[in-house]
A = this chain, B = another copy of it.
Amino acid sequence: MGEPEERPDDAGRTARPRGSGDGSADRKSPGGSRARGGRPTMADVARAAGISTALVSIVIRGVPGASEATRQRVLRIADELGYVPDQRAQKLRQSRSRVLGVTFELQQPFHGDLVEQIYTAAGQQGYEAMISAVAPSRSETTAVNALLRERCEAAILLGSELETEELTRLARRLPTLLVARHTDLSGVGVVRSDDTAGIGLAVDHLVALGHRRIAHIDGAGAPGSSDRRLGFLQAMAGHGLQDTADVLAGGLTETAGAEGMRYLLGRPTPPTAVIAFNDRCASGVLDVLARQGCDVPGEISVVGYDDSRLAKLPHVQMTTVSQNAAELAEAAVTSALALIAGRQPEEVVLTPRLVERATTGPARS
Protein backbone atom coordinates (compact mmCIF):
# COMPACT_ATOMS: atom_id res chain seq x y z
CA MET A 1 0.00 0.00 0.00
CA GLY A 2 1.30 3.49 0.78
CA GLU A 3 4.60 4.47 2.30
CA PRO A 4 5.41 2.95 5.69
CA GLU A 5 4.47 4.79 8.87
CA GLU A 6 6.39 5.13 12.11
CA ARG A 7 3.32 3.84 13.99
CA PRO A 8 3.97 0.27 15.12
CA ASP A 9 0.64 -1.34 14.25
CA ASP A 10 -0.10 -0.27 10.72
CA ALA A 11 -1.47 -3.56 9.51
CA GLY A 12 -3.87 -3.05 6.65
CA ARG A 13 -3.62 0.68 6.94
CA THR A 14 -2.59 3.36 4.54
CA ALA A 15 -1.62 6.85 5.54
CA ARG A 16 -0.52 9.75 3.45
CA PRO A 17 0.13 13.33 4.49
CA ARG A 18 -2.35 15.88 3.24
CA GLY A 19 -2.68 19.60 2.84
CA SER A 20 -0.01 22.12 2.15
CA GLY A 21 0.32 24.72 4.79
CA ASP A 22 -3.19 25.03 6.14
CA GLY A 23 -2.26 22.66 8.92
CA SER A 24 -1.74 23.18 12.58
CA ALA A 25 1.23 25.49 12.16
CA ASP A 26 -1.08 28.18 10.87
CA ARG A 27 -3.62 27.41 13.52
CA LYS A 28 -1.27 28.32 16.31
CA SER A 29 -1.35 32.06 15.84
CA PRO A 30 -4.16 33.28 13.60
CA GLY A 31 -4.42 36.60 15.38
CA GLY A 32 -0.83 37.53 15.02
CA SER A 33 -0.06 39.37 18.24
CA ARG A 34 -1.13 36.58 20.59
CA ALA A 35 1.95 35.05 22.19
CA ARG A 36 0.87 31.83 23.91
CA GLY A 37 -0.08 28.73 22.00
CA GLY A 38 -3.71 28.72 23.10
CA ARG A 39 -6.89 30.00 21.58
CA PRO A 40 -7.74 33.70 21.61
CA THR A 41 -9.29 35.00 24.81
CA MET A 42 -11.36 37.97 25.74
CA ALA A 43 -8.16 39.80 26.66
CA ASP A 44 -6.86 39.33 23.11
CA VAL A 45 -10.02 40.84 21.68
CA ALA A 46 -9.88 43.69 24.19
CA ARG A 47 -6.28 44.44 23.33
CA ALA A 48 -6.97 44.40 19.61
CA ALA A 49 -9.93 46.74 20.07
CA GLY A 50 -8.13 48.97 22.55
CA ILE A 51 -10.77 48.59 25.24
CA SER A 52 -11.24 46.73 28.51
CA THR A 53 -12.22 43.07 28.83
CA ALA A 54 -15.30 44.12 30.74
CA LEU A 55 -16.61 45.94 27.71
CA VAL A 56 -15.85 42.99 25.47
CA SER A 57 -17.77 40.82 27.88
CA ILE A 58 -20.73 43.18 27.65
CA VAL A 59 -20.72 43.01 23.87
CA ILE A 60 -20.28 39.26 23.67
CA ARG A 61 -23.13 38.62 26.08
CA GLY A 62 -25.30 41.08 24.20
CA VAL A 63 -26.32 42.99 27.30
CA PRO A 64 -26.86 46.76 27.25
CA GLY A 65 -23.94 48.97 28.17
CA ALA A 66 -21.96 49.48 24.98
CA SER A 67 -22.38 51.92 22.12
CA GLU A 68 -23.54 50.57 18.80
CA ALA A 69 -20.25 51.54 17.15
CA THR A 70 -18.17 49.68 19.71
CA ARG A 71 -20.48 46.71 19.56
CA GLN A 72 -20.01 46.35 15.83
CA ARG A 73 -16.27 46.79 16.05
CA VAL A 74 -15.81 44.27 18.86
CA LEU A 75 -17.92 41.65 17.11
CA ARG A 76 -15.95 42.09 13.93
CA ILE A 77 -12.61 41.81 15.68
CA ALA A 78 -13.77 38.80 17.69
CA ASP A 79 -14.80 37.08 14.52
CA GLU A 80 -11.54 37.88 12.81
CA LEU A 81 -9.54 36.47 15.67
CA GLY A 82 -11.76 33.40 15.79
CA TYR A 83 -12.70 34.12 19.37
CA VAL A 84 -15.14 31.71 21.03
CA PRO A 85 -16.09 32.26 24.68
CA ASP A 86 -14.68 29.61 26.97
CA GLN A 87 -17.68 27.88 28.40
CA ARG A 88 -15.72 26.46 31.30
CA ALA A 89 -14.65 29.89 32.44
CA GLN A 90 -18.16 31.24 31.91
CA LYS A 91 -19.79 28.53 33.95
CA LEU A 92 -17.14 28.75 36.60
CA ARG A 93 -17.81 32.41 37.06
CA GLN A 94 -21.58 32.17 37.01
CA SER A 95 -22.94 30.54 40.09
CA ARG A 96 -25.37 28.50 38.01
CA SER A 97 -24.09 26.30 35.25
CA ARG A 98 -27.43 26.04 33.44
CA VAL A 99 -26.49 22.56 32.35
CA LEU A 100 -28.71 19.51 32.63
CA GLY A 101 -26.89 16.19 32.59
CA VAL A 102 -28.53 13.34 30.70
CA THR A 103 -27.54 9.68 30.63
CA PHE A 104 -28.96 7.49 27.91
CA GLU A 105 -28.38 4.16 26.30
CA LEU A 106 -26.45 4.50 23.09
CA GLN A 107 -28.22 1.74 21.19
CA GLN A 108 -31.79 2.32 22.32
CA PRO A 109 -33.71 4.10 19.57
CA PHE A 110 -36.30 5.39 22.02
CA HIS A 111 -33.56 6.97 24.10
CA GLY A 112 -32.35 8.65 20.95
CA ASP A 113 -35.82 10.13 20.48
CA LEU A 114 -35.88 11.30 24.08
CA VAL A 115 -32.42 12.84 23.95
CA GLU A 116 -33.33 14.78 20.85
CA GLN A 117 -36.43 16.18 22.50
CA ILE A 118 -34.58 16.95 25.71
CA TYR A 119 -32.07 19.02 23.76
CA THR A 120 -34.84 21.24 22.48
CA ALA A 121 -36.87 21.32 25.70
CA ALA A 122 -33.80 22.31 27.68
CA GLY A 123 -32.88 24.93 25.11
CA GLN A 124 -36.30 26.51 25.41
CA GLN A 125 -35.76 26.93 29.14
CA GLY A 126 -32.36 28.50 28.66
CA TYR A 127 -30.56 25.36 29.67
CA GLU A 128 -28.08 23.22 27.88
CA ALA A 129 -28.13 19.44 27.79
CA MET A 130 -24.92 17.57 28.35
CA ILE A 131 -25.21 13.95 27.35
CA SER A 132 -23.26 10.99 28.64
CA ALA A 133 -23.73 7.60 27.04
CA VAL A 134 -24.25 4.18 28.59
CA ALA A 135 -23.07 1.18 26.60
CA PRO A 136 -21.92 -2.38 27.25
CA SER A 137 -18.39 -1.15 27.82
CA ARG A 138 -19.38 2.04 29.66
CA SER A 139 -21.32 1.59 32.85
CA GLU A 140 -24.06 3.83 34.09
CA THR A 141 -21.87 4.71 37.06
CA THR A 142 -19.15 5.96 34.74
CA ALA A 143 -21.68 7.99 32.81
CA VAL A 144 -23.13 9.53 35.95
CA ASN A 145 -19.72 10.38 37.38
CA ALA A 146 -18.84 12.23 34.21
CA LEU A 147 -21.93 14.38 34.69
CA LEU A 148 -21.11 14.95 38.33
CA ARG A 149 -17.71 16.34 37.48
CA GLU A 150 -19.26 18.70 34.96
CA ARG A 151 -21.24 20.39 37.70
CA CYS A 152 -24.61 19.85 36.10
CA GLU A 153 -27.44 21.37 38.06
CA ALA A 154 -29.48 18.20 37.79
CA ALA A 155 -29.21 14.71 36.37
CA ILE A 156 -31.83 13.16 34.12
CA LEU A 157 -31.40 9.40 33.86
CA LEU A 158 -33.16 7.65 31.00
CA GLY A 159 -34.33 4.15 31.86
CA SER A 160 -31.78 3.89 34.63
CA GLU A 161 -30.86 0.50 36.03
CA LEU A 162 -28.85 1.95 38.90
CA GLU A 163 -29.01 0.18 42.26
CA THR A 164 -31.12 1.83 44.93
CA GLU A 165 -28.06 2.53 47.02
CA GLU A 166 -26.17 4.26 44.25
CA LEU A 167 -29.26 6.21 43.29
CA THR A 168 -29.63 7.44 46.86
CA ARG A 169 -26.02 8.54 46.94
CA LEU A 170 -26.45 10.40 43.67
CA ALA A 171 -29.68 12.07 44.76
CA ARG A 172 -27.93 13.36 47.85
CA ARG A 173 -25.44 15.30 45.79
CA LEU A 174 -27.57 16.36 42.85
CA PRO A 175 -31.25 16.80 42.04
CA THR A 176 -31.98 13.57 40.24
CA LEU A 177 -34.77 12.69 37.89
CA LEU A 178 -35.65 9.24 36.64
CA VAL A 179 -37.34 8.92 33.27
CA ALA A 180 -39.29 5.82 32.29
CA ARG A 181 -38.46 4.02 35.47
CA HIS A 182 -40.55 3.31 38.47
CA THR A 183 -39.04 3.65 41.93
CA ASP A 184 -40.27 3.94 45.47
CA LEU A 185 -37.17 5.83 46.44
CA SER A 186 -38.00 9.15 47.99
CA GLY A 187 -35.78 12.07 47.14
CA VAL A 188 -35.64 11.46 43.42
CA GLY A 189 -38.09 12.81 40.90
CA VAL A 190 -39.79 10.49 38.44
CA VAL A 191 -41.30 11.12 35.05
CA ARG A 192 -42.78 8.09 33.41
CA SER A 193 -45.82 7.03 31.54
CA ASP A 194 -48.34 4.72 33.10
CA ASP A 195 -46.93 1.38 32.02
CA THR A 196 -49.72 -0.63 33.57
CA ALA A 197 -52.37 1.37 31.75
CA GLY A 198 -50.34 1.34 28.55
CA ILE A 199 -50.27 -2.41 28.30
CA GLY A 200 -53.94 -2.34 29.25
CA LEU A 201 -54.63 -0.29 26.12
CA ALA A 202 -52.85 -2.88 24.02
CA VAL A 203 -54.82 -5.72 25.60
CA ASP A 204 -58.15 -3.91 25.21
CA HIS A 205 -57.37 -3.24 21.57
CA LEU A 206 -56.53 -6.87 20.86
CA VAL A 207 -59.51 -8.22 22.79
CA ALA A 208 -61.79 -5.88 20.86
CA LEU A 209 -60.37 -7.43 17.69
CA GLY A 210 -61.45 -10.84 18.96
CA HIS A 211 -58.13 -12.12 20.29
CA ARG A 212 -58.23 -14.49 23.23
CA ARG A 213 -54.84 -16.18 23.36
CA ILE A 214 -52.47 -13.28 23.90
CA ALA A 215 -48.83 -13.55 24.92
CA HIS A 216 -46.61 -10.93 26.49
CA ILE A 217 -42.87 -11.08 25.92
CA ASP A 218 -41.68 -9.05 28.87
CA GLY A 219 -38.59 -6.98 29.60
CA ALA A 220 -37.04 -9.34 32.12
CA GLY A 221 -35.52 -7.12 34.79
CA ALA A 222 -35.62 -3.89 32.78
CA PRO A 223 -37.13 -0.71 34.23
CA GLY A 224 -40.89 -0.69 33.79
CA SER A 225 -40.95 -4.39 33.09
CA SER A 226 -42.79 -5.48 36.19
CA ASP A 227 -45.42 -2.75 35.76
CA ARG A 228 -46.10 -3.84 32.22
CA ARG A 229 -46.26 -7.49 33.23
CA LEU A 230 -48.72 -6.60 35.96
CA GLY A 231 -50.75 -4.43 33.59
CA PHE A 232 -50.96 -7.32 31.16
CA LEU A 233 -52.19 -9.79 33.72
CA GLN A 234 -54.67 -7.35 35.22
CA ALA A 235 -56.12 -6.36 31.87
CA MET A 236 -56.41 -9.96 30.75
CA ALA A 237 -58.12 -10.85 34.01
CA GLY A 238 -60.42 -7.88 33.51
CA HIS A 239 -61.60 -9.53 30.32
CA GLY A 240 -61.89 -12.89 32.02
CA LEU A 241 -58.93 -14.16 30.05
CA GLN A 242 -56.57 -14.97 32.91
CA ASP A 243 -56.29 -18.54 31.70
CA THR A 244 -55.03 -17.68 28.24
CA ALA A 245 -52.70 -14.92 29.42
CA ASP A 246 -49.18 -15.97 28.70
CA VAL A 247 -46.06 -14.21 29.96
CA LEU A 248 -42.63 -15.01 28.57
CA ALA A 249 -39.30 -13.81 29.88
CA GLY A 250 -37.87 -11.53 27.19
CA GLY A 251 -35.66 -8.48 27.17
CA LEU A 252 -35.30 -5.18 25.39
CA THR A 253 -33.48 -6.25 22.26
CA GLU A 254 -34.49 -7.67 18.91
CA THR A 255 -32.83 -10.91 19.93
CA ALA A 256 -35.07 -11.33 22.95
CA GLY A 257 -38.14 -10.79 20.80
CA ALA A 258 -36.98 -13.23 18.16
CA GLU A 259 -36.22 -15.94 20.67
CA GLY A 260 -39.52 -15.43 22.42
CA MET A 261 -41.47 -15.64 19.20
CA ARG A 262 -39.66 -18.73 18.01
CA TYR A 263 -40.50 -20.37 21.29
CA LEU A 264 -44.16 -19.39 21.00
CA LEU A 265 -44.40 -20.75 17.46
CA GLY A 266 -43.14 -24.07 18.76
CA ARG A 267 -46.17 -24.36 21.02
CA PRO A 268 -49.06 -26.70 20.12
CA THR A 269 -51.44 -23.74 20.11
CA PRO A 270 -49.52 -20.52 19.53
CA PRO A 271 -51.15 -17.25 20.60
CA THR A 272 -53.01 -15.16 18.04
CA ALA A 273 -51.45 -11.96 19.33
CA VAL A 274 -48.21 -10.89 20.96
CA ILE A 275 -47.45 -7.81 23.01
CA ALA A 276 -43.71 -7.14 23.15
CA PHE A 277 -41.93 -5.21 25.87
CA ASN A 278 -40.78 -2.53 23.44
CA ASP A 279 -40.49 -1.75 19.75
CA ARG A 280 -37.05 -3.27 19.43
CA CYS A 281 -38.31 -6.48 20.94
CA ALA A 282 -41.35 -6.36 18.66
CA SER A 283 -39.01 -5.91 15.70
CA GLY A 284 -37.44 -9.25 16.51
CA VAL A 285 -40.89 -10.80 16.78
CA LEU A 286 -41.96 -9.41 13.41
CA ASP A 287 -38.77 -10.56 11.81
CA VAL A 288 -39.24 -14.15 12.91
CA LEU A 289 -42.85 -14.13 11.79
CA ALA A 290 -41.92 -12.77 8.37
CA ARG A 291 -39.28 -15.44 7.94
CA GLN A 292 -41.71 -18.17 8.90
CA GLY A 293 -44.07 -16.86 6.27
CA CYS A 294 -46.56 -16.10 8.98
CA ASP A 295 -48.91 -13.33 7.91
CA VAL A 296 -49.10 -10.25 10.13
CA PRO A 297 -51.75 -9.35 11.09
CA GLY A 298 -53.62 -12.10 9.22
CA GLU A 299 -52.43 -14.93 11.41
CA ILE A 300 -50.78 -13.17 14.32
CA SER A 301 -51.08 -9.60 15.58
CA VAL A 302 -48.14 -7.82 17.14
CA VAL A 303 -48.02 -4.77 19.41
CA GLY A 304 -44.87 -2.90 20.39
CA TYR A 305 -44.19 -0.25 22.99
CA ASP A 306 -42.59 3.22 22.80
CA ASP A 307 -43.62 4.38 19.35
CA SER A 308 -39.96 4.83 18.57
CA ARG A 309 -38.45 5.39 15.17
CA LEU A 310 -38.67 1.65 14.55
CA ALA A 311 -42.45 1.56 14.81
CA LYS A 312 -42.90 4.47 12.45
CA LEU A 313 -40.90 3.02 9.57
CA PRO A 314 -43.17 3.04 6.52
CA HIS A 315 -42.57 -0.61 5.71
CA VAL A 316 -43.12 -1.69 9.30
CA GLN A 317 -46.10 0.36 10.43
CA MET A 318 -46.13 -1.19 13.85
CA THR A 319 -49.08 -0.86 16.16
CA THR A 320 -47.58 0.31 19.40
CA VAL A 321 -48.16 2.13 22.65
CA SER A 322 -46.84 5.65 22.44
CA GLN A 323 -45.02 7.19 25.35
CA ASN A 324 -44.77 10.39 23.35
CA ALA A 325 -41.10 11.23 23.57
CA ALA A 326 -41.67 14.96 23.18
CA GLU A 327 -44.13 15.13 26.05
CA LEU A 328 -41.98 12.91 28.25
CA ALA A 329 -38.91 15.02 27.51
CA GLU A 330 -40.68 18.25 28.24
CA ALA A 331 -42.06 16.92 31.51
CA ALA A 332 -38.59 15.68 32.42
CA VAL A 333 -36.98 19.07 31.84
CA THR A 334 -39.77 20.90 33.66
CA SER A 335 -39.50 18.53 36.62
CA ALA A 336 -35.75 18.81 36.70
CA LEU A 337 -35.99 22.59 36.83
CA ALA A 338 -38.53 22.32 39.64
CA LEU A 339 -36.10 20.15 41.58
CA ILE A 340 -33.33 22.65 40.99
CA ALA A 341 -35.62 25.39 42.25
CA GLY A 342 -35.85 23.44 45.49
CA ARG A 343 -39.30 21.95 45.14
CA GLN A 344 -40.00 18.51 46.53
CA PRO A 345 -39.51 15.59 44.15
CA GLU A 346 -42.70 14.48 42.48
CA GLU A 347 -43.78 11.56 40.42
CA VAL A 348 -45.25 12.68 37.13
CA VAL A 349 -47.19 10.00 35.33
CA LEU A 350 -48.18 10.59 31.74
CA THR A 351 -50.97 8.72 30.07
CA PRO A 352 -49.84 6.57 27.15
CA ARG A 353 -51.80 6.31 23.96
CA LEU A 354 -52.34 3.44 21.57
CA VAL A 355 -51.16 4.03 18.01
CA GLU A 356 -52.97 1.68 15.69
CA ARG A 357 -51.00 0.83 12.62
CA ALA A 358 -50.70 -2.22 10.42
CA THR A 359 -49.50 -5.05 12.64
CA THR A 360 -52.80 -5.71 14.39
CA GLY A 361 -56.04 -7.02 12.92
CA PRO A 362 -59.02 -9.25 13.66
CA ALA A 363 -58.29 -12.62 15.26
CA ARG A 364 -58.40 -15.47 12.81
CA SER A 365 -60.01 -18.42 14.55
Nearest residue in B to A105 (C-beta to C-beta)? B112
0/1 per residue, A18-52, Cβ < 8 Å to B?
A: 11111111111010000000110000000000000
CB within 8 Å of B: which A124-148 residues: 128, 131-133, 135-138, 146, 148
CB within 8 Å for A133 and B119 given contacts A88-B92, A313-B254, A344-B24: yes
Q: Which of B30, B87, B107, B186 contacts A172 (CB 8 A)?
A: B30
A62 at the A/B interface (Cβ < 8 Å)?
no
> Judging by beta carbons under 8 Å apart, are B85 and A149 in contact?
yes
Q: What residues of B have a CB within 8 angstroms of the CB of A148 in the complex?
A: 84
Question: In whole angstroms, what is the CA distance A5 to B151 when docked?
Answer: 30
Report, as a range, how many residues of chain A touch the other chain: 35 or more
Smallest beta-carbon distance A337→chain B, Å: 11
A334 at the A/B interface (Cβ < 8 Å)?
yes
A356 at the A/B interface (Cβ < 8 Å)?
no
CB within 8 Å for A106 and B95 given contacts A13-B349, A13-B350, A345-B23: no
> Judging by beta carbons under 8 Å apart, are B255 and A313 in contact?
yes
A190 at the A/B interface (Cβ < 8 Å)?
yes
0/1 per residue, A159-194, Cβ < 8 Å to B?
A: 000000000000111110000000000111110001
Q: Which of B13, B128, B314 contacts A348 (CB 8 A)?
A: B13
CB within 8 Å of B: which A277-310 residues: 284, 287-288, 290-291, 293, 309
Q: What residues of B have a CB within 8 angstroms of the CB of A22 in the complex?
A: 171-172, 186-187
Question: In whole angstroms, what is the CA distance A343 to B343 when docked?
Answer: 52
Stoichiometry, copies per complex: 2
Nearest residue in B to A253 (C-beta to C-beta)? B313
> Judging by beta carbons under 8 Å apart, are A116 and B87 in contact?
no
Question: In whole angstroms, what is the CA distance A146 to B24 when docked?
Answer: 21
A258 at the A/B interface (Cβ < 8 Å)?
yes
Q: Which of B117, B315, B331 contacts A284 (CB 8 A)?
A: B315
Question: In whole angstroms, what is the CA distance A180 to B89 when docked?
Answer: 33
Q: What residues of B have a CB within 8 angstroms of the CB of A331 in the complex?
A: 13
Q: Which of B24, B284, B347 contacts A18 (CB 8 A)?
A: B347
A65 at the A/B interface (Cβ < 8 Å)?
no
CB within 8 Å for A151 and B112 given contacts A18-B345, A255-B314, A288-B315: no
0/1 per residue, A252-273, Cβ < 8 Å to B?
A: 0111001100100000000000
> Judging by beta carbons under 8 Å apart, are B344 and A19 in contact?
yes
Given contacts A13-B348, A19-B187, A92-B92, 14 further A-B contacts (CB under 8 A): A7-B334, A15-B346, A17-B346, A18-B190, A19-B345, A23-B345, A24-B175, A24-B344, A27-B172, A27-B175, A30-B173, A84-B149, A107-B112, A255-B315
Q: Could you tell me which A residues sit within 8 Å of B by CB distance?
A: 1-2, 7, 12-28, 30, 38-39, 82, 84-89, 91-92, 95, 97, 106-107, 109, 112, 115-117, 119-120, 128, 131-133, 135-138, 146, 148-151, 171-175, 186-190, 194, 253-255, 258-259, 262, 284, 287-288, 290-291, 293, 309, 313-316, 331, 334, 339, 342-351
12 chain-A/chain-B pairs, Cβ below 8 angstroms: A1-B351, A13-B331, A15-B349, A23-B187, A23-B344, A27-B172, A39-B151, A107-B309, A112-B135, A119-B135, A287-B287, A293-B293
